[in-house]
Amino acid sequence: MNNSNGRIEFFEIKSGKTIMWTDGKGRIGVNTSKQPIDDPQKASIYGKTNYHMDIELLNACNKIAKGQKLTPLEESSIVALWHEILHNRQKESEKFLVEKRCVEGITDWVAVHTYDTFLNDLGGQVEHKEIIKDYRIGYGHYIRDIKNYIKLHGLNEDDMLQEMLRIINNIDCSGYKKEILNWGNKNSRK
Ligand SMILES: [Zn+2]
């Protein structure tokens, strides 16, 4: 198992659509280039048609330090950071890329549903969880996949979250898809 044992190091990435990135060994990259919010509904909810992830994260940290409330985009930057930290807890596998969509989906679902504790530990308060759950930027397609899967099988969201946490903490990335599909079949109510 490769992980960083909690040591996190930041660096910049300057282009591309990836807003944050990690090697799973403690290095986390934050994109410094301008990112568009193409969906007009999301642009209206987040109050911007574009943003810089590095600036949102920096603003979030400064506001947390001063006890100020975060904007939805600032709170999103914390969720993205938590997503990358979760990757650093996972058991890596050479099959990561083959199973990427499933691994990313599970990781982001867990990030969106558990970032409260992370933000609280940093000294901040969650304000925009419903917006982030329904209108996630950057990783929205992963959340949509899982929402559809839950609906299709009539699954219990809380139970599924617990199963995802078990998978993240115990299963090699190459086994995510098999494990979650087994669980989904077993617990399907449709
Ligand atoms: Zn990821």
Q: What is the Cα–Cα distance from 63 to 56, expressed in whole angstroms?
A: 10
Nearest to 110 by CA among 75, 77, 146: 146
- Residue type present at position 129: K
Cα 190 to middle of ligand 1, angstroms: 30
Cα 90 to middle of ligand 1, angstroms: 11
Kindly indicate the confidence band of residue 76, based on its pLDDT and cuts at 50, 70 and 90. Answer: very high
pLDDT tens digits, one per residue of 119-164: 999 999 999 999 999 999 988 888 988 999 999 999 999 999 999 9
Cα 89 to middle of ligand 1, angstroms: 12
pLDDT tens digits, one per residue of 15-66: 777 899 998 888 999 999 999 999 999 999 999 999 999 999 999 999 999 9
β-pair partners for 174:
none
Provide the CA 66 distance to its chain's centre, in angstroms.
25
Q: What is the Cα–Cα distance from 178 to 184, expressed in whole angstroms?
A: 10
Angle between helices 53-66 and 100-122 (to 10 degrees): 30
Higher pLDDT, 117 or 91: 117
Q: What is the Cα–Cα distance from 112 to 24, expressed in whole angstroms?
A: 19
* Beta strand pairing call for 9-13 and 20-22: unpaired
- What is the model's pTM? 0.91
